[in-house]
Amino acid sequence: MQASKQTNNTTKVIKIKNTFPTLNAQKIDQIHRIVNGSSKPKPCIQMTTKGPLRKQVIIPMSNDNINKFMKDSSLYITNINQSLRNTKSEVLVDFIRSDISSVTIVTNKVAVQSDLYIIENYIKKVEDIDTVNVNISQLPQSKSYLKIIGIPYFPHNSSNEHLTPSEVESIIKQNQIFDNIVLTSKLCVIKVSSKSDILIIWIDIWDVQSGSKAKSLINRCFKVGRFIATIQGANMNPGIPQCKNCWQWGYVTMSCHIHGSKCIKCNGPHKTENHRQFRWCCKVNEKTNLPRLKTKKGEQCPHFFKCSNCHGDHQANSNLCPFWKYKFYCE
């Protein structure tokens, strides 16, 4: 019986070697053990996403700066292109669009560092722009997903105050292992379970498609008070994209097929910042039973609307929307 098993194993090894003649003996032995069920392959963690098109420049800035900058965006396109031509650059600006936290300048070619400097320098010289709230311009990058383990929910024995994302972020910024690492969003600090006193801290960082920055951090440790935290890789879960033009789910803004824009509040055929000028609810009407007053200049629209996706009483990008809650589940 023993001799029969050895003969079968030898036959399998010979078949693998004949099928894959370029494999070495160690690799053949590993495949043989996996086939027999004695060794299972380690799961591969996909922690880095493929970044967007690099023919655009992202400039993070405050919401107030974004609103001021977008008012005369067509003029700024002309002026930036003139500055680029003066340096004999082949890069030209096609159009400018805004996001919640940044301005995106779409170009005809991938910008180099000198082009980024010209664009950023011009924006900082624009009137009414608060330069303190304008961050360094950057090209689109991939995202890598990591998690930090080994930190208790109440790290300070003398008090019942739990660890906050801002505290963790300040610790990360002061630590040398995070030099040249830029966070893509706010940290997510959650407990392992509802009855656990141990935290998992999820961090998303800007990276290259090979994930080299994330790989340099994995399995490294650093101190949080008297505790040792360890960095591990996490499976990427970027979720379903939401178009910032029509506010529908399933595709990015660059792939939007509608002409014009949709309002995030009322789903009307106008930009959200022009809602008060075009929507009837913000205009005066003395003929109604309760005379409707005009929304004062500078005030946000106080009225309630139906979400264009679920028809709930919130905006289309609200975290109260069921679409937003299940954005990580494709079905």
Domain boundaries, the chain: 8-42, 56-133, 142-233, 239-331
DSSP state, residue 281: G
DSSP 8-state symbol, 228 = E
Per-residue confidence in pLDDT tens, the chain, 331 aa: 445 555 566 665 565 556 656 666 666 566 666 666 555 555 567 788 777 778 888 888 888 888 888 888 889 899 999 999 999 999 999 999 887 778 889 999 988 888 989 998 888 888 878 887 787 787 888 888 899 888 887 766 655 677 777 888 888 888 888 888 888 777 888 877 777 778 888 888 888 878 888 899 999 988 877 788 899 988 876 567 888 888 888 887 877 888 888 888 788 888 877 776 766 666 665 556 666 666 666 666 666 677 888 888 888 888 788 888 777 665 5
142-233 has CATH 1.10.10.10 classification: no
**HSE (side-chain half, CA atoms, 13 Å) at 179:** 2
DSSP 113-148: HHHHHHHHHHHHTSTT--GGGB---B---EEEEEEE
The rounded distance, in Å, linking the Cα atoms of 294 and 275 is 13
Q: Do 234 and 217 meet the contact criterion of CB atoms below 8 Å apart?
A: no
Residue 319: half-sphere exposure toward Cβ, Cα within 13 Å: 0
